[in-house]
């Protein structure tokens, strides 16, 4: 990786509002180690400043952040460079924890794709604003990995069995679904997104929630497909085992259940097992405990055939036809 974090992360303070802009548009703002370190350093410096809020946004309408640069992680694994991968995940998870514990309100402006590491940047902050172009997902089971960046903490805390559904299937949330699930907190139309920073600066004494609600258009939350399927989601994905989840989906015999079943069938069996175990137990642990367990798990997962094959099929050759294998991790996931 060539570190160009000075260009890929832009940061400045204007009228008491810190603004961090992700600026790697050709890669859909996929996070590198340098970018993570740059964001973490900025936030560390700003802890001593008198700010009313911190914004995290993108310079591109296509993506807030499509995740971590997982293709580079695969290259590290193939080269036997475990240290480089360790540095990336450790620094990313440290940043996730910093955002969760930050003393100033963190407002993420999610326009376009927000996946994997993008959720790690946003969901741990207090305010996640989505536009009508937002698409959010944790698609890791489709590349032989598992939902990380604290997903073993935040997914189990979503209502009902929504978190298990999202983690296992990688289902993509639109703005309505993200608001319904609680992954997003506010809706602002894309053409009003640039006004958020100035509105916060103009009203430093007002709660951030109040300022964001003033900018919101009509919320799309009532029109979401997730709300319509909620009963089936809770019944099927609330089952105690993967096998029972699959059985319940077959019993439902609906288009939604068929799509969910297809997503499970196309995912890595190894990833499904890891993810189910992590999410089934994550509600018992703190965010820092979950991040520590996820870091331990990355050390073995990124060397497995399923991870190497999944990233190859999705991001290298892009043939979308992974040949999954059942690779033993030598024990149960750390949260079990």
Q: Could you tell me the sign of the dihedral formed by the alpha carbons of 204, 208, 210, 214, in that order?
A: positive
Q: Catalytic: which of 148, 232, 294, 306?
A: 148
Nearest alpha carbon to residue 142 among 114, 117, 166: 166
Contact 110/55 with Cβ under 8 angstroms? no
**Which ranges of the chain does DSSP label H, i.e. alpha helix?**
5-8, 33-46, 70-79, 82-100, 117-122, 151-154, 162-169, 175-181, 195-202, 208-215, 225-237, 242-252, 255-266, 269-281, 287-301, 305-311
**Which ranges of 58-111 does DSSP label H, i.e. alpha helix?**
70-79, 82-100
Active site residue 148: yes
Paired with 186 in beta bridges are 129
What does the DSSP 8-state code read for residue 62?
S
Which region holds residue 224: left if phi is over 0, alpha if psi is between -120 and 50, else beta? beta
Active site residue 330: no
How many helices and strands in the chain, by DSSP H and E?
16, 9
Collapsing DSSP states into helix, strand and coil, what is residue 159? coil
Q: Catalytic: which of 18, 67, 112, 117?
A: 117
Rg (CA), the chain: 19
In this structure, what token pair is assigned to residue 309? 């094959």
Q: Catalytic: which of 111, 140, 294, 309?
A: 140
Quote the CA–CA distance of 278 and 60 in Å, as a whole number: 33
Active site residue 86: no
Collapsing DSSP states into helix, strand and coil, what is residue 286? coil
Active site residue 140: yes
Q: Could you tell me the sign of the dihedral formed by the alpha carbons of 223, 226, 232, 234, in that order?
A: negative
Q: Catalytic: which of 67, 68, 125, 197?
A: 68
Quote the CA–CA distance of 245 and 167 in Å, as a whole number: 13
What residues are annotated to the active site? 68, 117, 140, 148
């Amino acid at each position: 990786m060539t570190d160009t974090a000075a260009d890929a992360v832009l940061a400045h303070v204007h009228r008491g509002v810190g603004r961090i802009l992700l600026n790697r548009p050709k890669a859909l703002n996929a996070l590198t180690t340098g970018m993570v370190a740059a964001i973490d350093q900025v936030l560390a410096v700003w802890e001593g400043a008198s700010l009313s809020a911190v914004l995290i946004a993108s310079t591109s309408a296509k993506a807030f952040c499509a995740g971590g640069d997982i293709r580079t992680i695969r290259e590290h694994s193939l080269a036997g460079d475990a240290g480089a991968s360790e540095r990336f995940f450790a620094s990313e998870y440290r940043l996730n924890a910093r955002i969760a514990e930050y003393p100033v309100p963190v407002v993420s402006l999610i326009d376009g794709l927000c996946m994997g590491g993008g959720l790690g940047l946003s969901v741990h902050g207090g305010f996640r604003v989505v536009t009508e172009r937002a698409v959010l997902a944790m698609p890791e089971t489709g590349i032989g990995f598992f939902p990380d960046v604290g997903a073993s903490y935040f997914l189990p805390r979503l209502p009902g069995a929504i978190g298990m559904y999202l983690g296992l299937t990688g289902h993509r949330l639109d703005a309505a679904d993200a608001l319904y699930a609680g992954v997003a907190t506010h809706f602002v139309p894309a053409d009003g997104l640039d006004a958020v920073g100035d509105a916060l600066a103009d009203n430093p004494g007002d709660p951030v929630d109040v300022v964001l609600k003033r900018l919101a258009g009509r919320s799309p939350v009532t029109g979401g497909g997730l709300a319509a399927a909620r009963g089936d989601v809770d019944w099927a994905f609330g089952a105690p085992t993967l096998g029972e989840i699959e059985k319940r989906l077959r019993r439902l015999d609906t288009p939604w259940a068929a799509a969910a079943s297809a997503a499970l069938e196309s995912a890595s069996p190894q990833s499904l097992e890891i993810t189910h175990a992590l999410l089934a137990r994550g509600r018992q642990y703190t965010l820092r405990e979950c991040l520590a367990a996820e870091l331990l798990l990355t050390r073995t997962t990124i060397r497995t055939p399923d991870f190497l094959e999944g990233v190859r099929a999705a991001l290298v050759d892009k043939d979308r036809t992974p040949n999954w294998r059942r690779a033993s991790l030598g024990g149960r996931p750390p949260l079990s």
